[in-house]
Chain A
Amino acid sequence: QVQLQESGPGLVRPAETLSLTCTVSGDSISSKSWSWVRQPPGKGLESIGFLHYSGDIRYNPSLKSRLTISVDTSKNQLSLQLTSVTAADTAVYYCTKLLGAGWDYRSDPWGQGILITVSS
């Protein structure tokens, strides 16, 4: 059974860089597709970006200039770096596995999520 666990600092200062890690267990991260989704408190879901099994990495256009998604196959981890954070980046961040074909993917399963607060 695939399990995903997000980890990170919890609190980030404005203008600094947010770094998150998603550790995958029960499955190899290689040759699979994965994504990051975030949810501001009391609001809806926003797709941040995804890693396609082909190696292609795509970002939400609104975050593209600040965002980097990478994978460490030796540690079976997916990572996210978001630079120059503001209060608008405060959210629960989820990593998910992508299942499907073509571009008809669903996120399943999801990690439990980690709340990241941007505040001084």
Chain B
Amino acid sequence: QSVLAQPPSVSGAPGQTITISCTGGDSNIGAGYDVQWYQQLPGTAPKVLIYDNTNRPSGVPDRFSGSKSGASASLALTGLHAEDEADYYCQSFDYKLFAFVFGAGTKVTVL
């Protein structure tokens, strides 16, 4: 069982907006550690989509956005595109485990 909880799947039609939640606890996100989001396309290595809760690396479209509140974080995809079909993972640091922790991942399907 993952330390960070994510919904297993989220779907939406092209052009719609979807959000993926990531819920942690008082030893990770709730303790103030930042949340990173990764996108993993089929058969490829993950890549950073959002870092430090809200920042996008260069080259990531601005229709991807992140937010954090308390012990939870969210990734929003606005104007959904077919190429957004992928698995999305949140990640943070847990001071009790003294380890980086990932959510179980959310599969995004574009209808």
A residues touching B (Cβ–Cβ < 8 Å)? 35, 37, 44-47, 49-50, 58-61, 94, 99-100, 103-113
Task: Report the Cα distance A50→B38, complex, angstroms.
Answer: 18
- B99 x A60 contact (CB < 8 A): yes
- B48 x A106 contact (CB < 8 A): yes
- A105 x B48 contact (CB < 8 A): no
Looking at the assembled complex, report how far the CB atom of A65 sits from the nearest CB atom of chain B, in whole angstroms: 15
- B45 x A111 contact (CB < 8 A): yes
- B99 x A45 contact (CB < 8 A): no
B interface size (C-beta, 8 A): 26
Stretch at the interface among B9-17, B18-26, B76-84, B87-95: B87-95
Name the one of A46, A47, A99, A104 contacting B33, with C-beta atoms under 8 angstroms. Answer: A104
> Which A residues lie within 8 Å of B57 (CB)?
108
Give chain A's interface secondary structure class: strand
> Which B residues lie within 8 Å of A107 (CB)?
36, 38, 46, 48, 91, 100
Task: Report the Cα distance A50→B94, complex, angstroms.
Answer: 13
- 27 CB contacts below 8 A, A to B, read A44-B2, A44-B104, A45-B89, A45-B102, A46-B102, A47-B91, A47-B99, A47-B100, A47-B102, A59-B99, A60-B97, A61-B97, A99-B51, A100-B51, A104-B34, A104-B93, A105-B93, A105-B100, A106-B36, A106-B51, A107-B36, A107-B46, A107-B48, A108-B48, A108-B51, A111-B45, A113-B45
Interface: B63 (CB within 8 A): no
- B99 x A58 contact (CB < 8 A): yes
